[in-house]
Amino acid sequence: MIVTIIGARPQFIKAAVVSKALVELGIEEKIIHTGQHYDEKMSNVFWEELGIPPYEINLEVGSKKHGAQTAEMIQKIEAYVESKREKIKGILLYGDTNSTLAGSLVASKMKPLKVIHVEAGLRSFNRHMPEEINRIVTDHLSDILFCSSQSSVDQLKKESVIGHIYEVGDVMYDAVNAFSPIANRTVNLQSLLPFKEKDFALVTIHRPSNTDHSQNLSNIIEALGAIQIPCLWPVHPRNNTRLETLSLPKNIFTIPPVSYLEMLKLLEHCKVVLTDSGGLQKEAYWKKKQCITLRKETEWIETVRENWNTIVGPNPDKIKAAFNTQPKRSTWIPLYGHGDAAQKIAQQLKTSLYS
């Protein structure tokens, strides 16, 4: 049996395709939901939309400071794993959240359990990001590491990571391919848009480096106000109170968080993406949309190298300049695999854990 630990929106999406692949190969899986995301649009709706297998237990940890949140996760994950230790072959982890870190710390101290990390080898090289610490620690504790690209493989080798490393592509690409047709068929675009214009910018801003620094957030909003098209901003719940004190330009339209299928629909029809998210940079690339990244670095260096992603940080002049520079569609090439990463992961786990 494999125990999968998830707790945040991107992990739900990844689990949807990997869990399906595990079932197809007859691999038993139990899912622990840590409760790290607790908003309906950020959590529960994913089980309905994406067909994720029911979770075994919800730890209901909720939002806390990093230390308290991670400590509570460790305690509760350890108790669950101890109760089923004889049946468990490995702990499957995604990405770089506190849920990931907690799972890796528990499993690494309960050998012979294997620590399995999907999306391994990513680096922003910014140690001020909590996610960077989480991913580095998890990679160095992992026994089986699945990478989205050769760059990630090279980084793990550079760091002398001792686990078994496999380049399989990106499971988010699997998800985009699997769920885009459903989104196009079932989501009503006009119900999401509070304006009639055809061209619009899709905006997501949630990182503390932007939202917790008033000047950075003001700079970004100033730049968005100068863009001559509507900017649609699904607002992360933690930022609602911050926006109450701001006066937004007339071309910025805020809406509540959207589901994954709704986000895919918006991506399909937007003109440009402005984001400080990690996953949305890739999704924009796969949808052949220009991405302007509101950070000073990115883990997804391939999208920058191919000139579809521009790193601007919270700099108004750079944001406006990037908006006025459109990539040439003829330069687009496939990145991060071929949409079969989940199948490759499931097959390798069957070989590594059950042979």
At 198, give phi and psi (nearest 5°): -80, -45
Structure tokens at 354: 């059950």
Q: What is the CA radius of gyration of the chain?
A: 20
Q: If we measure between CA atoms, which residue out of 286, 295, 290, 281 comes closest to residue 334?
A: 286
Task: Give which of 189, 181, 188, 132 is closest to 159, Cα–Cα.
Answer: 132
Indicate the angle between helix axes 214-226 and 316-323, nearest 10 degrees: 30
| Residue 206 is a catalytic residue | yes
Distance CA(114)–CA(285), nearest Å, equals 33
Q: Which CATH architecture has domain 2-170+338-354?
A: 3-Layer(aba) Sandwich (3.40)
One-letter amino acid at 58 equals N
Q: Does 182-331 match 2-170+338-354 at the fold level?
A: yes
- Predicted TM-score (pTM) of the model is 0.93
Residue 324's Cβ-side half-sphere holds a number of Cα atoms within 13 Å equal to 10
In degrees and rounded to multiples of 5, residue 57 shows phi and psi of -155, 145
Per-residue pLDDT of the chain (355 residues; tens, 9 = 90+): 999 999 988 899 999 999 999 999 999 999 999 988 655 555 567 777 888 888 999 998 988 888 999 999 999 999 999 999 899 999 999 999 999 999 999 999 999 999 999 999 999 999 989 999 999 999 999 999 999 999 999 999 999 999 999 999 999 999 999 999 999 999 999 999 999 999 999 999 988 889 888 899 999 999 999 998 999 999 977 777 777 778 899 999 999 989 899 999 999 999 999 999 999 999 999 999 999 999 999 999 999 999 999 999 999 999 999 999 988 888 899 999 999 999 999 999 999 999 8
The residue among 315, 326, 342 whose CA lies nearest residue 289 is 326
Q: Residue 122 carries which side chain, given as an amino acid letter?
A: L
Domain 182-331: CATH superfamily is Glycogen Phosphorylase B; (3.40.50.2000)
242-251 own/partner pairs: CB under 8 Å, 24+ apart? 242/211, 242/217, 246/217, 246/218, 246/221, 248/221, 249/221, 249/224, 249/225, 251/224, 251/225, 251/227
Q: Domain locations in the chain? A: 2-170+338-354, 182-331
Q: Where are the beta strands (DSSP E) in the chain?
A: 2-6, 29-33, 57-58, 90-94, 114-120, 144-147, 164-167, 201-204, 231-234, 252-255, 272-275, 290-293, 309-311
Number of CB atoms found within 10 A of residue 38's CB: 15
Between CA 75 and CA 48 the distance in angstroms is 29
Distances (CA, A) of 17 to 14, 115, 298: 6, 19, 25
Query: CA 49 → CA 12, 185, 224, distances in Å?
Result: 11, 13, 31
Q: Which candidate in 128, 140, 206, 269 is catalytic?
A: 206
CB 68 within 8 A of CB 61: no
